Amino acid sequence: MARLENKVAVVTGSGAGMGEGMARLFASEGARVVVSDRDEAAAQSVAASIVADGGEAIAVRADVGVEEECRALIDRAVEHYGRIDILVNNVGLSRRGTIETTSVDDWELVFRVNVRSAFLCMQQAVKYMKEQGGGSIVNIGSVNAYIGEPKLMAYSASKGAMQTLSRNTASYLNRYRIRVNQLNVGWTLTPNEHRVKVEEEGKGENWLDEAVRTRPWGRLLLPRDIAYAALYLASDESECITGSVLDLEQHPIGAPPNW
């Protein structure tokens, strides 16, 4: 039996990258997947590809930093599939800046996307999960919550806030058999990550060589690594786990304290 047989999963930010990887894996394991993204065309493309591969999926365009759009996303999932068993809060972004150079606008944008969206989506999903007797929520965080990289001040702070939000919510929702866990990831090799490193951070096309040198397994994380970890936390295999934080990457070997 597939690991997510007959379960309904909503994955935010699943039009590309890590979210797409999770949506595809969940579908291959029997889940009916709601592919959600601000980019409607990207969401439609992923959902159509899942269906073409024999899975079941629909696409819903949503800006999950907006309360009404979060409500519409979760309502649509339940209207179409009758329930929601899994919510993955994957949406996230970063803005470079220290405590001195980060603008108020960048601070508020990062918290809106990284923290507010998770809060809003959980708030909407919990209503249905309580009625059906349980569910699993997986929040995608970052090891930057611990490291506090100086030039990613707002991002690091937002992921620390998300981690506290996950644990606090888990302690409350436990009584309803709704599990909340956080998956903290490090550098993950996606097209967008490469673009950011080259275009925004000016690291050059060879940035990956140095990054790989510091990893004990000889490569960066890939979307499939995040997808399989999320699959475990979403599935009934982890039914006794809640309020936990699973780190997929520790401090790189030989890296400076604030890598």
- Give the burial string for 23-37 (b: 16+ CB within 10 Å, else e): bbbbbbbbbbbbbbb
Measure the CA–CA gap between 157 and 167, rounded to whole angstroms: 16
Is residue 194 predicted with pLDDT exceeding 70? no
Predicted confidence band at 251 (pLDDT cuts at 50, 70, 90)?
low
Higher per-residue confidence, 195 vs 216: 216
**What is residue 101's predicted lDDT score, i.e. its pLDDT?**
97
Q: In what order do the strands lie in the sheet with 32-37?
A: 56-61, 32-37, 8-11, 86-89, 135-142, 178-185, 245-247
User: What is residue 107's three-state secondary structure?
Assistant: helix
Is residue 241 predicted with pLDDT exceeding 50? yes
Kindly report the average pLDDT of the chain as a whole number: 90
**What is residue 255's predicted lDDT score, i.e. its pLDDT?**
47
Give the residue numbers annotated as catalytic, written as ranges: 155
Predicted confidence band at 253 (pLDDT cuts at 50, 70, 90)?
very low
Is residue 254 predicted with pLDDT exceeding 70? no
Higher per-residue confidence, 96 vs 88: 88
Predicted confidence band at 198 (pLDDT cuts at 50, 70, 90)?
low
Q: Do 92 and 145 touch, CB atoms closer than 8 A? A: no
Query: Residues 196-216: what's their mean pLDDT?
Result: 66
Tokens at 48, concatenated: 């159509």
Reported as a single tens digit per residue, the pLDDT across 116-144 is 999 999 999 999 999 999 999 999 999 88
Kindly report, as residue ranges, where domains of CATH 3.40.50.720 are found in the chain. Answer: 8-186+223-247
Reported as a single tens digit per residue, the pLDDT across 59-88 is 999 999 999 999 999 999 999 999 999 999
Which class for 148: exposed (0-12), middle (13-18), buried (19 or more C-beta within 10 A)? Answer: middle
Domain 8-186+223-247 has CATH 3.40.50.720: yes
Measure the CA–CA gap between 246 and 252, rounded to whole angstroms: 17
DSSP 201-236: S---TTHHHHHHHT-TTSS-B-HHHHHHHHHHHHSG
Is residue 252 predicted with pLDDT exceeding 70? no
